[in-house]
Amino acid sequence: MNAAVDHVAAHGFADLSLRGLGAAIGVSHNMLIHCSGSKEQLLVEIVRTTEQRRRDLLPRLRPCPGLSPADAARLFRRQLTNPRLTGQERLFFEICGHALRGRPEFAPVLEGLVNDWLEPSPSQRSPIRPCEGSCEPLRAAGCPRAAL
């Protein structure tokens, strides 16, 4: 999955075929179907994996000495809006759009779409709690995508 995510990040998904993706990452298109079930399910998993990678960035920003919460939020937003990630952003919005229009094969991407940003990621040592005011802007930084 990581190789597929990296390929989509680097090349986008506009002309993505399972055969082309398989050839690019060194597996057969049949293996991609076997592992994901369908092209649509593969795209959902690419989006979900990309989202998890982004959530995993938040804990890395917390311990930066001298970095204010506002600066951490700005840094996180810069990472989200990196031009190299344009393909992933397009895929995110396209898949979410299909899911919101009722296409059932894309519906799983909506599961946890908001709440997963509010829960601690597996890589975090401790959850960010609302009572920890200095970390609240980091959690809020998960919302810049809404402005993209």
Tokens (6 digits) for 76: 């996180």
- H or E segment and range at residue 43: helix 39-61
Residue in 122, 143, 139 with CA at minimum distance from that of residue 130:
139
DSSP state of 67: -
How many other C-beta atoms lie within 10 A of the C-beta of residue 89? 18
pLDDT value, residue 27: 92
Q: What is the pTM of this model?
A: 0.73
Asked if residue 142 lies in contact with residue 55, where contact means CB atoms within 8 angstroms, the answer is: yes
Provide block-wise average pLDDT over 10 residues at a time, the chain (148 residues): 84 81 91 88 91 83 75 83 82 91 94 82 48 46 49
Which tens digit of pLDDT belongs to each residue from 90-119?
Answer: 889 989 999 999 999 999 999 988 888 887
DSSP state of 68: -
